[in-house]
Amino acid sequence: MSAPVFSHLTVLLSEAVAALAVRPDGVYVDCTFGRGGHSRLILSQLGPAGRLVAFDKDPEAIAVGERLAAEDPRFTLVHEGFETLARELDRLGIARVDGVLMDLGVSSPQIDDARRGFSFRFDAPLDMRMDTSRGLTAAEWLATAAEEDIREVIKTYGEERFARKIAAAIVAQRELAPLETTRQLALLVGQNVRTREPGQDPATRTFQAIRIYINRELEELKAVLPQAAQRLAEGGRLAVISFHSLEDRIVKNFMRDASSDAKLPSWVMVRSADLPEPPLRTVGKPVRASDDEVKGNPRSRSAIMRIAERTAGAWREEAV
């Protein structure tokens, strides 16, 4: 039986591709292929000599991308997480690229497919892996993790103030029977969260936290940002779309540090004009979805895109 088909509205589609300032003969990287919305628009702006490399961990996204790769020789698909960017570009013989795009977080098809276990809206196996071909499921991790580790994950990645109580409840419950489904976890969390923001399900923060941990989302983001920036040719663009504060904070701090003057000892007397040029410069203000886009796709409400451009300045260790 074939997998169900779920629609996906690409967030900040035209804005993100415009941010890359695509050159027809350029080489670009889409770190998060998804269902190919950004990739297809980039390809439409490339000429015969242009090239696009896309990454994704999700086998279902890879199946979509393989069909595109079979149709378009300018397109190369890599079934890996984007933290392998430098290694895979080396393997492909690509030294420099003209733009890198990242659309972070979980995609609509992943959320809407009950089988994936990302959403508390459905009763399904508690999986949450973006790459279903490898790694521990959420259920497997919750069955064995120490209570303090569960608490720390929920507190840090979910910014959940009831993390201690939720972790204790999870450990107590698994002594009776394992947590195997999304509904079981959502009900358990709901019983241990006293208050929540209007319109937000009590399980929202816990599900977010466990998903981020299982997929190593923040670690991968921290690993890929310097790789992507160092691979950019002069004038090349880095555009990153984030959906929650933890991601955006990492991106904002990285771009700020890499676009700031080098930190010198206080006793060094150097004129500002003589300081080495930073390796990046930020481009414009953060971009958010328009009112019309939010109306048509409510999930775009939290999206924020930051853009930086590679300068002629040498890369420095402190920017990593």
Q: What is the CATH number of the domain that holds 151?
A: 1.10.150.170
What's the pLDDT at 318?
Answer: 54
In a domain, 117, yes or no: no
Q: Is 99 among the annotated ligand-binding positions?
A: no
What's the pLDDT at 5?
Answer: 46
User: Is the domain of 249 the same as that of 169?
Assistant: no
pLDDT of 106 > 90? The answer is: no
In a domain, 229, yes or no: yes
Handedness of CA 204, 209, 215, 218 (dihedral sign): positive
What's the pLDDT at 122?
Answer: 73
In the listed set 166, 197, 214, which residue is the last one of a domain according to the structure?
214
- Give, as one character, the DSSP assignment of residue 277: P
User: Is the domain of 202 the same as that of 270?
Assistant: no
pLDDT class for 311, splitting at 50, 70, 90? very high
- Cβ burial of 7 (10 Å; 0-12, 13-18, 19+) is exposed
User: Is the domain of 30 the same as that of 169?
Assistant: no
pLDDT class for 3, splitting at 50, 70, 90? very low
Q: What is the pLDDT of residues 249-274, one digit of tens each?
A: 999 999 999 998 766 555 555 666 65
User: Is the domain of 90 the same as that of 209?
Assistant: no
* Structural tokens at position 165: 């109580």
User: Is the domain of 222 the same as that of 297?
Assistant: yes
pTM of the predicted model over 0.75: yes
The residue-averaged pLDDT of 11-30 equals: 96
User: Is the domain of 137 the same as that of 194?
Assistant: yes
Alpha helix (H) ranges present in the chain?
13-19, 37-45, 59-71, 85-91, 108-112, 138-144, 147-158, 163-176, 182-190, 204-214, 217-231, 245-258, 291-296
164 residue type, one letter: R
Find the domain containing 83 and state its range: 13-108+217-319
In a domain, 266, yes or no: yes
User: Is the domain of 233 the same as that of 292?
Assistant: yes
For 91-103, letters b (16+ CB in 10 Å) and e give: eeeeeebbbbbbb
Q: Is 55 among the annotated ligand-binding positions?
A: no
User: Is the domain of 169 the same as that of 25?
Assistant: no
In a domain, 126, yes or no: no
In a domain, 51, yes or no: yes
User: Is the domain of 308 the same as that of 162?
Assistant: no
In a domain, 42, yes or no: yes
In the listed set 214, 237, 265, which residue is the last one of a domain according to the structure?
214
Q: What are phi and psi of 259, to 5 degrees?
A: -110, 10
What is the tally of structural domains in the chain?
2
What is d(CA 214, CA 212) in angstroms, rounded to the nearest whole number?
6
Higher-scoring residue by pLDDT: 219, 35? 219
In the listed set 150, 180, 214, which residue is the last one of a domain according to the structure?
214
Q: Is 36 among the annotated ligand-binding positions?
A: yes
pLDDT of 317 > 70? The answer is: no
Instruction: Say which CATH number the domain at 275 has.
Output: 3.40.50.150
Q: Is 6 among the annotated ligand-binding positions?
A: no
What's the pLDDT at 2?
Answer: 45
In a domain, 114, yes or no: no
pLDDT of 222 > 70? The answer is: yes
User: Is the domain of 264 the same as that of 223?
Assistant: yes
Q: Are 307 and 20 in contact (CB under 8 A)?
A: no
Q: Is 184 among the annotated ligand-binding positions?
A: no
In a domain, 35, yes or no: yes
